[in-house]
Structure formats: C-alpha cells, structure tokens
Amino acid sequence: MADEHGIVATGLVREYKKGPRAVDGIDLVVHPGEIYGFLGPNGAGKSTTVHMLTTLLPPTAGTATVAGYDIVREGPQVRAAIGAALQEAALDPLLTGREHLRLQTTLQGIPRSERARRGELLLERVGLSQAADRKVRGYSGGMKRRLDLALALVHSPQILFLDEPTTGLDVQSRSALWEEVRRLATDDGVTVFLTTQYLEEADVLANRVGIIDHGRIVAEGTPAQLKADVGRPTVEVVPTDSEEKERAAAILARFGEPCVAVQGVAVRLRTSDADLAEIVRALDAESLKVENLQLHQPSLDDVFLAKTGRSLEGAGEEEEEPELALEPA
C-alpha cells in the first residue's frame, strides 16, 4: 500500500464541532505521475480532503502521506513537495501577474538569480506574458486560473493539487487548462490530484476517478472500469408515429430488456458491444419509421446514480461544505 512518491490516505476523517463529518474515513492511493480525479457534488468533502492533504487542515482521525511525508508530522516537507491551486483563484487583484510571481518565487525560496527567469518561463507557459504587467483585477476567469496554476508550479512540485480548477470557466479556457494539466502529468511526471464536480472533466482528464459523496468514497477506478461496472449501453428509439411505440418496443425487446426512456422506448442491451446496425436493420425490416435513434453509453453520472441513488447533477445543492474556519471537534 505504501507509495513513497504519491498519495496514500487511510481512514482520513474530518469532523467539525456542531457540524457534520465532512470527510468520513477516506482510503485512497494515488500513484506517481497519475491524474486522479476526485469527483463529487458540492459539499461532498472534496475541498476538505484537499485541505487535509495539503496540511492546511489537521485531520480529526486517520493518516495520510503525501510524497512520502506524513501530513501531520512532516508538514513543511509535504508543503515543499506540493503545489496547490485551491478553489477560487487566491490572487491579489491589485498586484500584476509578474508581481505575484515575484512574491511567490521569493516566498518559495527560489534563488534570487533564478527568480525572474522562472517567472518569465511560467508566464509564457500559461500564456500570460502579454498580460504580465496588468493588474489581476482586469483578468478574465480563465486568466486568473492560469496564473493560479503558474504560481502553484513555481517550485517545480512533485504533486499538484487542483481544487475545482475549471469551475466557472468557458469551454475554451477549460480545454486550455486541461491540456496544460495533461502535459504536466505526461511530460513532467507531475502527480495531479484534481477535484471536480464536472463529469466530463473527470472522464476526459483523469487516469483514475474516486467518486465521493457525503464524505465517503463510493466508487473508484478508471472511468472505463467504473462505467463498465455499472452496466451496458441503452438504445432509445422514438417512432415517427407515437402510436407505434408498442411495436417499436417489441422489436427492441429482441436486443435487451426494457428500461426507462426519455421520449420514446428504450432497452438496455444484452452485451456492451451490440451492433447498432442490427437494430436499424430490424426496424427497417418491420417498416417502422423512426424519428430518432440514440445509443447511450453509461456515463459517470450513471455510476454516481447507481452508487448513491441520486444524479450528480444538482446533488450538492442540498448541502455545502462547512467553513474551514470552524473549530475542530
């Protein structure tokens, strides 16, 4: 189980006085060079877990090592090995991008002779060279996130924590950030622990995904494994004539068992590699006119639904994560 250069957590708990158990016994292993997606709704315990793993919040119970160092007993060593871009880009709106990097390189103890060069390199890497001397209050959300990432990379960390890095970003900014995170993991060998509430982000970016709900990991594996565990794809047919639904259902029944459909009729296929062409041929042979035919692959939302009984979309609206300033129990 021990992994000297990744992250290992065992029975990690964070409990608040007069509050809920924000994190309720988490066990996880993140391998070096891996992008680990921590997926869950708002209030699931993602940020609290990140705060514990980055030494900003002591755990109530359990243990964890990050880069081989204990998060409670070896805080300074952990912090030296990690970079973090926490929820909401923590930037000073009155400073420029370059001034942020100057401050960060000094505080991280980068030798004076290397500071300017390192700052320029990172600004260029995140595409902010042109905007480096503008005050951050004039930056867009995407620019702030990129600067946040650059600041987290100042000391070339082994492990990078990204807490909901793309929340609120437009599609273009999101894709650019994904590309940079992927590059960090593949080219530089950085281990990335990424929390997100976006299914697509976890699906596209993460090598492995841990799904968290109410402070507990309810499922873990590669996106493909998780989806395969949940089940087979479904096919939905919407007949042109709505009176033909029963006939369409009878044809589809040859390929699988009926399931809930949004508009028409649907079946869950018997095998995961069923041939859609066969279904089309069967419908055609029966002269059934079809308005729409769709193959639905299982998504991570289906995984979340299967494990928690709720859809990930909107699941977090019930409760927010408690304030980190609350006193420990």
CB 44 to other proteins: min, Å: 19
CB 319 to other proteins: min, Å: 21
CB 255 to other proteins: min, Å: 52
The residue from 29, 61, 80, 288 that contacts other proteins (CB under 8 A) is 80
Beta-carbon contacts of residue 180 (< 8 Å; ≥ 6 apart): 125, 126, 146, 149
The dihedral region occupied by 179, where left means phi > 0, alpha psi between -120 and 50, and beta the remainder, is alpha
Helix (H, G, I), strand (E, B) or coil at 7: strand
Report residue 302: phi and psi, to 5°: -65, -35
CB 294 to other proteins: min, Å: 43
Q: Which stretch binds other proteins (CB under 8 A): 103-111, 121-129, 170-178, 250-258?
A: 103-111
Output 151 or 219, the one with its CB closest to other proteins: 151
CB 323 to other proteins: min, Å: 9
CB 59 to other proteins: min, Å: 9
The residue from 91, 101, 149, 312 that contacts other proteins (CB under 8 A) is 91
According to the binding rule CB under 8 A, does residue 257 interact with other proteins? Answer: no
Pairing state of beta strands 61-66 and 7-15?
antiparallel
Beta-carbon contacts of residue 62 (< 8 Å; ≥ 6 apart): 9, 10, 11, 12, 13, 25, 26
Q: Which residue(s) pair with 26 in the sheet?
A: 12
According to the binding rule CB under 8 A, does residue 194 interact with other proteins? Answer: no
Q: What is the CA radius of gyration of the chain?
A: 24
Size of the site for other proteins (CB under 8 A): 34
According to the binding rule CB under 8 A, does residue 75 interact with other proteins? Answer: yes
The residue from 1, 2, 17, 76 that contacts other proteins (CB under 8 A) is 76
According to the binding rule CB under 8 A, does residue 167 interact with other proteins? Answer: no
Residue listed under structure tokens 């160092």: 69
The residue from 10, 15, 32, 56 that contacts other proteins (CB under 8 A) is 56
Helix (H, G, I), strand (E, B) or coil at 308: helix
C-alpha to C-alpha distances, 54 to 48, 184, 286, nearest whole angstrom? 10, 19, 62
* Positions that interact with other proteins (CB under 8 A): 54-58, 71-73, 75-76, 79-80, 82, 84, 86-88, 90-92, 94-95, 99, 102-104, 106-109, 112, 135, 151, 325
